[in-house]
């Protein structure tokens, strides 16, 4: 279908204008910010005149109007001496905040507090992968909902991801697989869904699906009217014979379910009433789902247009397992670049934060299933290691040993809830860091690059400069610390790390930041 066959309004939003000139929303947004296309800012949104775009297109005929990807000039990519505790202040990469993804096709499907921005990933690619390289193999060992993998795939790279959270892994898999989906078929199923929900609502149909028996919450997760609609959505999904259609609808439901629940992200999942918000007694689940599905449909169409430039689409693999397992299914010395962000040392509970999705989408049945994920996750969870036997650091980093010793002695009257428990937690975390580099050393090509986004933390009133210790552990395994890029301050999560149990009696203010630790593999 060409532009002349579609009705476009005289004043268009970003998504409409992107379809009008047939580029991605991300590309058009970059062009607008660079004043390379006629547009105006209305509050925080871009607006485009159809007539102006038509004139602009006429003036640009015969020339490419796709905005080039920004090129970041590295300040110094050669090895440099690195002293423990030293901080390299040169900034080569931009803000990592995942909130930037809210308007980006594919990335905006699922809100993910633990992710980073697609623009950050693009800057890393521009800086560390030669423009002539078309066969780069990119890996994200903690893939989340797939930001690194999607951006690499768009560029034609081979991408590999590991993700232990079943819901995040599903979202990642659906995004990457969507380039081969039957789009007209998907559009018809979305229409069929809306019709099914409308009939079921008007006829008072009794849902066949049941709430997950193993899911418990302090308050009812959904109000009765909302829960009935959610169960009807599950009925529709289970009746679809095509697995890929089921997956698309499951991702959509998981993305929006908290929005009409009696819980909210603050940033961790908690009751709405505890955050001063009213419970949601009524919601039009059909309309909310339909809007999300239509957003996904539009994004898939753009993605397919973008991927059509390749005669042979690149390969992707998403392994639904921990990267720290004994034998990652990858050949040795096969990776050119890792761009990742593992869980932080802040006791943030990534598994339990997705409990609603995991239970309501049928990915877990019992609380014991969650415990298995907690014990297999990177860094563990505080409650899983606080009362265990005293752990010892695998890597002798003198300054880190001092920090652990200080933690162990803090708040002794608290027992495992005091410094002793937190010391065990910190040791488990940094031992997993050591395991990460032990594995990564075997998988990286000689001289390949690793970029790890990590933040500092506060435990028992003590600041833990996790980025510095991560770099020191990496050097123990032969990596070279090229740079520690300070990419963000006042990151999300301060409400967690600043609570009384974390800071103890220390009233000193500590600035929270994120660092992109840039490393080079031995070679």
| 281 in any annotated domain | yes
Residue 502, domain member (yes or no): no
Provide the domain limits for residue 286. Answer: 180-306
Query: Domain ends where: 45, 68, 91?
Result: 68
Report the DSSP pairing between strands 335-340 and 444-455: parallel
Give the span between the Cα atoms of 408 and 416, in whole angstroms: 10
CATH number for position 60: 1.10.10
> Quick one: which H or E segment has residue 49?
strand 45-49
Could you tell me if residue 27 is inside a domain? yes
Residue 176 contacts by C-beta under 8 Å, 6 or more apart in sequence?
Answer: 146, 149, 150, 153, 159, 316, 318
Cα angle 191-197-198, degrees, rounded to a multiple of 5: 90
Flag whether 441 is in a domain.
Answer: no
**In which residue are the tokens 């002793």 written?**
420
Single residue among 306, 325, 359 that ends a domain in this structure? 306
Give, for all 523 residues of the chain, the pLDDT tens digit.
Answer: 444 445 788 888 888 888 888 777 777 877 787 677 898 877 667 889 988 888 888 764 323 232 233 333 333 333 333 343 344 444 456 555 655 667 788 999 998 876 788 888 988 998 899 876 778 999 999 999 999 999 999 999 999 999 999 999 999 999 999 999 999 999 999 999 999 999 998 888 899 999 999 999 999 999 999 999 999 999 999 999 999 999 999 999 999 999 999 999 887 889 999 999 999 999 999 999 999 999 999 999 999 999 988 888 899 999 999 999 877 889 999 999 999 999 988 766 678 889 999 999 999 999 888 888 888 888 887 778 888 899 999 998 999 999 999 999 998 888 888 889 999 999 999 999 999 999 999 999 999 999 999 999 888 888 899 999 999 999 999 999 999 998 887 654 444 444 444 545 445 567 888 999 999 999 8
Is residue 51 a part of any domain in this protein? yes
Residue that is last in its domain, among 68, 96, 111: 68
Q: How many domains does the chain have?
A: 2
- Residue 395 domain-assigned (yes or no): no
45 domain residue, yes or no: yes
409 phi/psi in degrees, rounded to 5: -90, -10
Q: Per the domain annotation, does 473 fall within a domain?
A: no
SS (H, E, C) 252-297: HHHHHHHHHCCEEECCCEEECHHHCCCCCCCCCHHHHHHHHHHHHH
């Amino acid at each position: 279908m060409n532009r002349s066959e579609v009705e476009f309004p005289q004043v268009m939003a970003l998504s409409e204008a992107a379809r009008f000139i047939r580029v991605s929303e991300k590309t058009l947004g970059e062009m607008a910010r660079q004043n390379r296309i006629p547009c105006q800012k209305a509050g925080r949104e871009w607006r485009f005149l159809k007539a102006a775009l038509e004139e602009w297109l006429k003036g640009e005929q015969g020339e490419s109007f796709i905005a080039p990807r920004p090129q970041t000039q590295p300040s110094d990519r050669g090895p440099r001496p690195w002293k423990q505790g030293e901080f390299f202040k040169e900034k080569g990469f931009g803000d990592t905040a995942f909130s930037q993804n809210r308007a980006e096709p594919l990335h905006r499907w699922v809100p993910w507090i633990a992710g980073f921005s697609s623009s950050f990933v693009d800057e890393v690619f521009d800086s560390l992968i030669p423009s002539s390289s078309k066969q780069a193999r990119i890996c994200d060992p903690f893939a989340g909902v797939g930001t690194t993998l999607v951006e690499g795939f768009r560029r034609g790279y081979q991408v590999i991801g590991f993700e232990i959270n079943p819901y995040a892994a599903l979202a990642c898999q659906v995004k990457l697989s969507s380039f081969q989906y039957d789009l007209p078929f998907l559009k018809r199923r979305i229409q069929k869904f809306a019709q099914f929900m409308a009939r079921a609502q008007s006829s008072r149909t009794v849902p066949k699906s049941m709430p997950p028996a193993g899911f418990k919450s302090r308050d009812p997760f959904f109000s009765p009217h909302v829960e009935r609609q959610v169960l009807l959505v599950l009925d529709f999904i289970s009746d679809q014979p095509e697995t890929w259609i089921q997956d698309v609808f499951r991702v959509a439901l998981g993305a929006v379910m908290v929005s009409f629940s009696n819980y909210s992200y603050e940033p961790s999942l908690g009751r709405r009433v505890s955050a001063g918000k009213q419970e949601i007694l009524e919601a039009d689940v059909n309309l909310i789902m339909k809007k999300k599905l239509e957003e996904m449909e539009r994004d898939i169409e753009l993605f397919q247009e973008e991927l059509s430039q390749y005669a042979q689409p690149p390969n992707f693999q998403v392994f639904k397992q921990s990267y720290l397992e004994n034998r990652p299914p990858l050949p040795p010395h096969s990776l050119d670049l890792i761009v990742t962000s593992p869980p932080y040392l802040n006791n943030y509970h990534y598994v339990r934060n997705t409990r609603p999705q995991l239970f309501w989408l049928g990915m877990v049945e019992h609380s014991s299933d969650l415990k298995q994920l907690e014990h297999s996750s990177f860094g563990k969870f505080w409650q899983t290691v606080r009362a265990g036997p005293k752990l010892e650091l695998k890597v002798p980093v003198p300054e880190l040993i001092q920090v652990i010793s200080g933690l162990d002695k803090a708040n002794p009257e608290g027992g495992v809830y005091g410094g002793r428990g937190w010391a065990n937690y910190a040791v488990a975390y940094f031992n997993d860091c050591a395991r990460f580099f032990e594995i990564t050393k075997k998988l990286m090509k000689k001289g390949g690059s690793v970029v790890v986004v990590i933040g500092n933390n506060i435990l028992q009133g003590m600041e833990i400069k996790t980025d510095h210790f991560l770099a020191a552990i990496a050097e123990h395994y032969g990596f070279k610390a090229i740079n520690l890029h300070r990419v963000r301050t006042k990151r999300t999560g301060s409400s967690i790390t600043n609570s009384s149990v974390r800071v103890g009696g220390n009233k000193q203010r500590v600035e929270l930041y994120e660092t992109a630790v840039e490393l080079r593999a031995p070679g």
